[in-house]
Every structure is written in C-alpha cells, then in structure tokens.
Structure 1
Amino acid sequence: MKVLVQAERFDLGAQNAAFAAGHRDMGAIVTFTGIVRDLPDDPLVAMEIEHYPAMTEKAIAAMAQEATERFNLGDVLVIHRYGRLEPGEMIMMVATAARHRRDAFEAATYLMDYLKSRAPFWKREITAKGAAWVASTDEDEAALSRW
C-alpha cells in the first residue's frame, strides 16, 4: 500500500507500470485518474487545494487499509495533489489490485467516493468572477452513503 500526497505532477504511465509490476497473483488492476475540470458557466482559472499534512496522509492510509481488508486487495496506490492546479491537470490517482476484477473495481470506487467527500482537503475554485470554497454535493454524499 502506498499513499502519496504531493504538490508535484506525477507521470501516469510510470505510476501505472510501477504499480502493475510484480503482481503476478492478481487478476485485475483498476486505475482511475481525476482531472481538474473546467466549470460550464464561469471558466475555471485554477483550483487551489490545501491540506494538513499530519492528518491527510494518515486519514487516506486508514481508508486504503479499510478498502484492502473489505475488498480483499493485494495492493493499493493513492496519489493526491495539493497546491494550485489548472483545468486539465491530473489531481489524483487511485489504483487497486485484486485477484478478481469486481473487488478491484468496487475498491477503486469506494476509495474515490471517500476521497471526494471525506479526505481532509480544502478546495477553492478560482474564476474570473472570484473564488469560492468547494463543498460536498448531495450527489457526493449519496455516492458515499452506499458503502
């Protein structure tokens, strides 16, 4: 299990290859990459993400450990960036390895739902009209509630 919280960009191909290497006993690897998306009505200039380092990595690691046990995973990788990110930049990556695809897919979805709603990050969207903190939506909460 590996959790990285970093300001630096990551190489998606290299991370995927490194994660997949050596998992001969796993039948499935699922990856998801989140990208900063533009806003439809007021173009996004940037998203600023803040976090408290002592808390963030521990919280994500605990959720990754829970996912490992719940979905019988062989391995987990979570990368989440912080700082100033522009539309189109990769913001996060989740990779799960399991003996069976269903476990790998469900675990990845579980982790993504957690990261979206409960990971201790504070996100602020900056547009030409100003800046606003991003709150969890009803849709995010509904996705999380199924677990």
Structure 2
Amino acid sequence: MMIRIQQHDFDMTTELAQLRAGSPQVGAIVSFVGTVRDINDGSPVSQMELEHYPGMTEKSIDAILVQAQARWPIADALVIHRIGPLLPTDQIVLVAVAAAHRGEAFAACEFIMDYLKTQAPFWKKEQTPDGARWVDARVVDDMALDKWAARP
C-alpha cells in the first residue's frame, strides 16, 4: 500500500504500471482520478488550494486502506493526493486498486475514494469572482458512506 501527498503532478500510466509490476496474481486494476472543476456551487472557480495536516493525513489514509484490505482481497492500493495551488483541469487525486478480480478492485476503489472525501484531513479553498471561500463538506459525500456501513 502506498500513500503520497505531494505538490507536483503525477503520471497515471507510470503509477499504474508500477502498481502492476511484479504481481502476477493481479487480474484487474481499477483507478479513479479526480480533477479540479472550473465551477462549483454555481460559481466560476479560477484556482483551488488544498491544505492538509502532515502526518495525520497519511495516518488517516492508511487507516482507510487497512479497512479496504480487510473487506476485500486486494493485492495492492495507491493513493496520491496533491496539495497546494491547483488550476481547473489539474489532477487532484489518484486512487488505484489492484486485485485478482475486477469486482473487488471496483468496490475497494470506490470505498477508498468515498472515505478519502470525508475522513482524510484536507481543506479546500477556492478562488471565485466573489473572492476566496473554503469548501464545506458535502452532504452527498457523507451519504456515500452509508452504503458501506450496511455492507460487511
């Protein structure tokens, strides 16, 4: 399991190749890439800045990966999350899961992303025509966790 918090961009092709390398039992890799949108809550966004709590953030993400590994037989997982100033279309996050079968990989990837959105200590500030604003937690993200509470 690999966790990286970084300012610089990532190359998804390279990252997925490294996740797959040397693992002949892997039959599926599922990935998710989140990007910066140019609009949020009806307002144009010219820039987003992401902050985190060093040490605590990695520990939180590690706990999420441990939970995913306990639920599904995954071979490996990768979370890369960017911090600092980002522009629309920039990549923010990569979540990738390797498993023997696609079902486990899809479920684990979605689980990790759902928990990452709500449980990892990241803060987003957007620049809009009306000035800077902090992004509040979204109810829909919290609701996404409910489906996992009902599953073993």
Q: Judge same fold: TM > 0.5, yes or no.
A: yes
**Cα distance in 2 for residues equivalent to 1:49 and 1:126:** 12
The offset of 1:132, in angstroms, is 1.2
AA matched with 2:19: F
Q: Deviations over 1:51-91 (max 9, x none)?
A: 11120011101111111121111101000011101110000
Q: Is the 8 A contact 2:60 2:119 kept in 1?
A: no
AA matched with 1:26: V
**Cα distance in 2 for residues equivalent to 1:55 and 1:124:** 19
In structure 1, runs of 5+ residues without a counterpart are none
**Cα distance in 2 for residues equivalent to 1:144 and 1:124:** 23
The corresponding residue for 1:52 is: 53
CA RMSD of aligned residues (A): 1.1
**Cα distance in 1 for residues equivalent to 2:101 and 2:69:** 13
**Cα distance in 2 for residues equivalent to 1:70 and 1:128:** 44
The corresponding residue for 1:17 is: 17
Identity of counterpart residues, as a percentage?
48
If the length of structure 2 is used for normalisation, what is the TM-score? 0.92
If the length of structure 1 is used for normalisation, what is the TM-score? 0.95
The corresponding residue for 2:79 is: 78
Q: Is the 8 A contact 2:35 2:89 kept in 1?
A: yes
In structure 2, runs of 5+ residues without a counterpart are none
- The secondary structure found in structure 1 opposite 2:80 is strand
**Cα distance in 1 for residues equivalent to 2:119 and 2:108:** 16
The corresponding residue for 1:28 is: 28
**Cα distance in 2 for residues equivalent to 1:48 and 1:66:** 28
The offset of 1:42, in angstroms, is 2.4
The corresponding residue for 2:120 is: 119
- The secondary structure found in structure 2 opposite 1:122 is strand
The offset of 1:115, in angstroms, is 1.2
The offset of 1:122, in angstroms, is 0.7
1:138 and 2:139 matched: yes
The offset of 1:107, in angstroms, is 0.3
- The secondary structure found in structure 2 opposite 1:58 is helix
The offset of 1:5, in angstroms, is 0.7
**Cα distance in 1 for residues equivalent to 2:126 and 2:23:** 38
